[in-house]
Amino acid sequence: MKEHSKGYLYAEALGGTIIIAIFILTITVMIGTAILQWRSAKQAQVIVQVAITAMEEGKYNYQRFGQLGELPLVQEPYKLVRVINSKQVHNMIVKELEVTGYYDNQEILHFSTYIWPGLLPNKEEE
């Protein structure tokens, strides 16, 4: 075999090895990312329905009784925080109800809704 042929075969083998190594690393990163996303989705799935319930019940209770009422219970390490603030929207001061869900100390979801004064029930009708 000629001397320059050996160098060509070496370069070809090295190039193939590098391509395979990059392919394996790419697949590993993709699998790792998929696992992390699956874990995050599973954490959010546990608390999302409880957070929606907390928001809707809080909105109903605030419209009817002027208070948010009881916060639904969640198991540790999950935590729900429900807050009502005043906010100016379309030149009106309205109440904004916010529900935030946490896993440990990491915020995993945040919902907010407005409680419009024109939609409050007439207390005399009750």
Interval 30-86: pLDDT, tens: 999 999 889 888 878 888 888 888 888 888 888 888 888 888 888 888 899 999 898
> With left for phi above 0 and alpha for psi between -120 and 50, is residue 89 left, alpha or beta?
beta
C-alpha 77/C-alpha 42 separation (Å) is 14
Q: Which two three-digit tokens encode residue 70?
A: 């009881």
**Which pLDDT score is estimated for 46?**
80
Task: Name the residue range of residue 109's domain.
Answer: 3-125
C-alpha 23/C-alpha 63 separation (Å) is 58
The more confident residue out of 63 and 1 is 63
Cβ-based neighbours of 120, under 8 Å, separated by 6 or more: 63
Q: Write out the E strands in 9-91.
A: 78-89
The domain total for the chain is 1
